[in-house]
Structure formats: structure tokens, C-alpha cells
Structure 1
Amino acid sequence: MLQKKNMIITVTLNPAMDKTLAIDNFTLGIVNRVSNLRYDIGGKGINVSKVLKNFNVNSTCTGFLGGILEKTFIEELNSRGIDTRFIHIKENSRTNTKIVDTTKKVYTDINEAGPEISENELKMFLDEFGNMCNKDDIVVLAGGVSPSVPKDIYAQLTKIAKEKGAFVILDADGELLKEGIKEKPDVIKPNNHELVRLLNLESDSEKELIKAAKLLQSKGIANILISLGEKGALFITGENIYHSKGVKVDVKSTVGAGDSMVAGLVYSKLNNYEPSEALKFAASCGTAAVTLEGTKACTLEQVQEMFRKIEVEIKEED
């Protein structure tokens, strides 16, 4: 399908070079041998842009980049045909290490905190972001931030984008999510654990999650997509509750699965999918992503293959 003229803006405030190490029977306290190694430019917004490009959808990445990795990120994104409008910072962008135990099927992430962002660098970004946003753009705000960035940053960005008439998707955790929802983004995409933390739920049972999502709707968050890992996903939108059932696949890496789901939401909005179809497509993106190594972006063909396998049902609210 042809892409509409919306501009897609993905925001990654703490990008990282993802270094993925495959190790057979990873054991602490001894020398471990790496059986496979790969590097991927990462950060949740960047991952969304990578997937969208595979769907023939153009987007512009923004955020902060600095140090020896800045050139690598820009060159890699440009080589993929992805536009960049990052703010240059004085400190180094970070590296995150992912350890995949191929024997035990255990995945370990070792993530750095990220660089210091000065007040001037933050102001430059806010000004640039405001200049980028226009009516009917789709803005994806995704991922963590370095400790120096204020926890209400996503609230600030949501307010700026919505005042310009843009559609905002927020994928964050903890205080960033708690503060961000105060400005009522159009969609949020927590996983079950993130939603439990956000609202101090007693459990992550389906009933509790749906009740929580309905509460968020009453506060002005129109659409809530909750990823449930191998159990699928819930999409609460309008008056309806949709559930996509999980599909058993050979999991190679869970990194980037949620980002792929967000890319699926963007693609669904561009193509005016009905809610059940949007959930099915987003879930297909997430499922396809976990079958790939590292943060390799899924292709449209891989997603369409999963699309044929995933079932979506409408749930009745208790």
C-alpha cells in the first residue's frame, strides 16, 4: 500500500550500540567463549524506524548522539535510507550488552546508564522537536533516558506534539510512563509488568490488566496495547477489548519485540486498519521479531507469515 503523507518521527533519547553475545551454557565466574557476535544500532525509537523501513515506510529519527558511536549510527541509518535529525552531544552514546545463553535459552541484558545531557543540549532538542512536528504526523516516544534527562520529558514532548496536531504513541516504563500519561498520548504500549508497576496492581491477571486499562481510558488515554509475551497481547480501544493469542515459535532474541509491535501500530494507522486487524498485525510484528537474532528488524514477508497464524478474539468485560 502507498504511504500517506504523514511524517513519522521516532524519538530515541538514549540510543545504544547493542552488542549481542551468543554463549553456550553461560556461567558466572569462569571464562566463557562466545559462539556468535553481532552489533546492532539500537534504542527503541531507532528499532521502530528500522522495522518501518522494512515495511517501505519512511521515518525520521531524532534524539541525542555523541562520541565515537555517533558517526556509526548516522552512517548506518543513512545507509538504510532513514532520515536523521539527532542533536549532537559532548559525551559518548552508550553500549548495551546482550548475552544469549543458547543452551539454557536465558537472555541477560547489561545496559549502561547513558551520557550526561546538558541543559543547553536538552533545550536544543526541545526546539528541534517542536520544529519537526506538524498536524497529522505520527510521533513515537520510546525507551529510557539517561539520568540527567527530566522524568517528565515524555509529558513535555507529548504536549508539544499534540499542540501541533500530531498523533502520539508512548512506549516507556516507570516514572517516564507515569509522567508521560499526564498529557494523554493517543496510544500507550506497556507490557503486563510495566502496567502492574504503573498502577500498583495486585497481579497481572487478564482481568486486572483490563480493569487497569479501562481506568486509564477514563483518564483520557484512548488506546492501550498491552503485550503479554508468549500469551499474546490485549488491545483496549473504544468500547472493545481485543485479545491476540500467542503463537509458539523458536525464540532467538526477545530484544526489540515490543518495538516491532509499535512499528506495527504505526503501519496499521497509516493503512486505516480496524482495531482487530491492527492488533493482529502488531502481534505478528512482535512474534516475527523474537524469531530473529539480536535486534534485527523483521520484514513485511515475515510478518505476513505470522499474520496467517495469529487469532484475535473480542473479550467480554467482566
Structure 2
Amino acid sequence: MIVTLTANPSLDRAVALAAPLAVGEVQSVVAAREDAGGKGLNVSRVIAAAGGSTLAVLPLDPADPFATAVHQTGLPVRAVPVRGAARTNLTVTDPAGTTTKLNALGTARTEADATALREATVAACADADWLVLAGSLPPGLPDDFYVTVIRAVRERWGTRAPSIAVDTSGAALQAVVADGRPDLIKPNDEELAALTGTPLDVTVDGVDRVREVAATLVPHRVGAAFVTLGSAGALLITADGAWHGTPPPIRVRSTVGAGDSSLAGFLLARTAGAAPADAVRGGIRYGAAAASLPGTQPPAPADLPTGDVPVVTLT
């Protein structure tokens, strides 16, 4: 069982253009779709599509049209009643796969909402293997909200507590790394650079430099780091070693949700007992599949690319 918490879910609207985005111009849309989104929901959707067991925790106003989109996913959901609609995000993609994202802040949540979300997450973790805390925090929730969730889950379940993965950024990620001691974080290279205060460009500095920067956090701050690198693949750093994998060639249609799918693929492999190198392969295959699909459509096993995913051990 993999439980996810999406504190700031969104109705994700995606449009595909017939030509590159031209600011200030009127352009034709060739395709459009709407999905119930947010990083945790995206992870749960991928896990469910693969036949895995998952439960998605999220705030939900029953009167919000977003509720219909959530129910249409067919996911097992533990909805925490709140007032106020979920945010709406817009993604624009051109024929070359270049993606422009416009993300709203979200509805402000109260201290009572925070308590209810935390309690619902703790209850959902009974017999869970992993808890995924994913996405931005809405206005009103403190930067250390995920830290309080981690502590509450571990206090309640003790040795039966699930492993905890965190996929967020900015102040929320800073707080988790400072005080939460998660088992896994999943930054991309830009988020890792911001987290450590180290300028980092994988296309210039190389994968070894990413490993060196991530190793400043592992294992004394976080148990492991699974760093997604876009077209450069992904890198896993643990206390026992580091592994880098490169993706097979694909036609990119939308990068939205690709990192979430990578995390889902990685966790699916780990819960199945896969070795680190194979878990990296799983994460890369799912991320590549997501990038080849429109919008935030979750990839299913049939969507996975069949090309080779080389994984090397770094020293």
C-alpha cells in the first residue's frame, strides 16, 4: 500500500497548440483535456494504473466541480471536507513538446484544515509501506506542515510506520530536510540546487557533480535522494552507493507530471523488492512514458517505452 497526501490539489487543464507559443497572439488549440491533479494524486493514479494498492488523501469541498474530476479517476480517496475550491492550473504545449505552466497558489486553508489533513493522513497509514508527501503547500499552511505530518505518523505507528518520501520544493523542502528526516526525497536538479544553495546545471556540471551535491544530504539529513534530471535521466543516492540511469529515446508531448510518474515507478519497483538499479530503471521508464503522453495523463504499463535504460554504478 502506498498512501499519498496532496495538500494543494488542482484541476489541471492542458492545451496543445498547432504552432509554438506566440505571446500576445491568437492561436489555435488542437487538443485539450482536464485532469484531477496535484503531485500526490498523480503518484496515486500511476500506482493504480499499474494495479498497485494506493490511497489518496486530499482536502475536498463537496461543492467544488473538482470533486467530479477526482471521482472520475476511480481512485480510493480519503477526502478531508474543506470550504473553497481547488486551484486550477493551465499547461500549454507546442508541437515540439515545449511546455509552459501557469500554476495558481490555491485556496487558503485554516489551522483546523491542517489538523484534519494531518489526522486523516495518520489514520490512512495503517499497514502502509510508503507515505508520499507531495506538492506545494496552499496558503495558510506553515512551511513545516510536512514535518508535523512525518512526526505524527511516526509517533502513532512506531516501528510499523511506513517509509516516507517527500516531493516538494522551496521552503517546504528546506523544512523537511532540516527537521523531518524523510526516508527519500525526490528533487529535480534545479530543486536540489536551491535546497543546497549550490549552483548546479547537469548539462554543464555532469552527473557526478549532482551526486556530490546530493551526498551532502545523504544519509545524515535524508535516507536517500532520487534526483530526476529530465533528458539526462535520474540519479539515486543512498548510504550504500549511487546509481545513474539514462532514458530511452521518446517523442516528448508534455513534461507535466513526469517527475511524479518517475517517483511512482521508483516506488512500485521498491515495494516489489527491486534492487536500487532496477528501481532507477522503473522510475525512468515511467517518467519517460508520462512525458510521451498529453496533459497529466497517468502512464499505464502498456505505455512504458521498451528501449534500453542503461544504469551505471557511480563511485
Normalised TM-score (structure 2): 0.92
Following superposition, the deviation at residue 143 of structure 1 comes to 0.6
- Within 2, Cα distance between the matches of 1:133 and 1:115? 26
Q: Which residue of structure 2 aligns with residue 179 of structure 1?
A: 175
Secondary structure of 1:277's partner? helix
Following superposition, the deviation at residue 193 of structure 1 comes to 0.5
The answer on 1:250 being equivalent to 2:251 is yes
- Within 1, Cα distance between the matches of 2:136 and 2:111? 18
Following superposition, the deviation at residue 296 of structure 1 comes to 0.8
Given that 2:267 and 2:279 are in contact with CA atoms closer than 8 Å, whether structure 1 keeps it comes out as no
Q: Match of 1:38, as an amino acid?
A: R
Farther off after superposition, 270-279 or 125-134? 125-134
Change in Cα spacing, 1:196 to 1:54, as seen in structure 2 (3 Å) is: same
Given that 1:12 and 1:142 are in contact with CA atoms closer than 8 Å, whether structure 2 keeps it comes out as yes
- Within 2, Cα distance between the matches of 1:39 and 1:74? 11
Farther off after superposition, 172-181 or 136-145? 136-145
Secondary structure of 1:314's partner? strand
**What are structure 1's unaligned runs of at least 5 residues?**
1-6
Following superposition, the deviation at residue 135 of structure 1 comes to 5.2
Percentage of identical aligned residues: 28
Q: Which residue of structure 2 aligns with residue 311 of structure 1?
A: 310
Q: Match of 1:203, as an amino acid?
A: L
Farther off after superposition, 256-265 or 160-169? 160-169
Given that 1:47 and 1:256 are in contact with CA atoms closer than 8 Å, whether structure 2 keeps it comes out as yes
- Within 2, Cα distance between the matches of 1:162 and 1:252? 40
Following superposition, the deviation at residue 228 of structure 1 comes to 0.6
Aligned pairs (5 A) from 1:234-249? 234-249=235-250
- Within 2, Cα distance between the matches of 1:290 and 1:196? 23
Change in Cα spacing, 1:58 to 1:170, as seen in structure 2 (3 Å) is: same
- How many residues are treated as equivalent by the alignment? 304
- Within 2, Cα distance between the matches of 1:161 and 1:278? 25
Given that 2:13 and 2:89 are in contact with CA atoms closer than 8 Å, whether structure 1 keeps it comes out as yes
Aligned Cα root-mean-square deviation (Å): 1.6
Q: Which residue of structure 2 aligns with residue 65 of structure 1?
A: 60
Q: Which residue of structure 2 aligns with residue 202 of structure 1?
A: 199
- Within 1, Cα distance between the matches of 2:213 and 2:281? 22
Normalised TM-score (structure 1): 0.91
Change in Cα spacing, 1:136 to 1:16, as seen in structure 2 (3 Å) is: closer
Secondary structure of 1:251's partner? coil
- Within 2, Cα distance between the matches of 1:36 and 1:300? 24
- Within 1, Cα distance between the matches of 2:186 and 2:79? 24
Q: 136, 143, 167: which one pairs with 2:163?
A: 167
**What are structure 2's unaligned runs of at least 5 residues?**
none
- Within 2, Cα distance between the matches of 1:95 and 1:153? 22
Moved over 6 A (4+): none
Q: Which residue of structure 1 aligns with residue 5 of structure 2?
A: 11
- Within 2, Cα distance between the matches of 1:283 and 1:99? 24
Following superposition, the deviation at residue 219 of structure 1 comes to 1.8
Q: 123, 132, 137: which one pairs with 1:131?
A: 123
Secondary structure of 1:98's partner? strand
Q: 85, 95, 101: which one pairs with 2:94?
A: 101
- Within 1, Cα distance between the matches of 2:219 and 2:124? 30
Q: Residues 16-38 of structure 1: CA distance to partner in whole angstroms, max 9, x if unpaired?
A: 11111111232221222211111
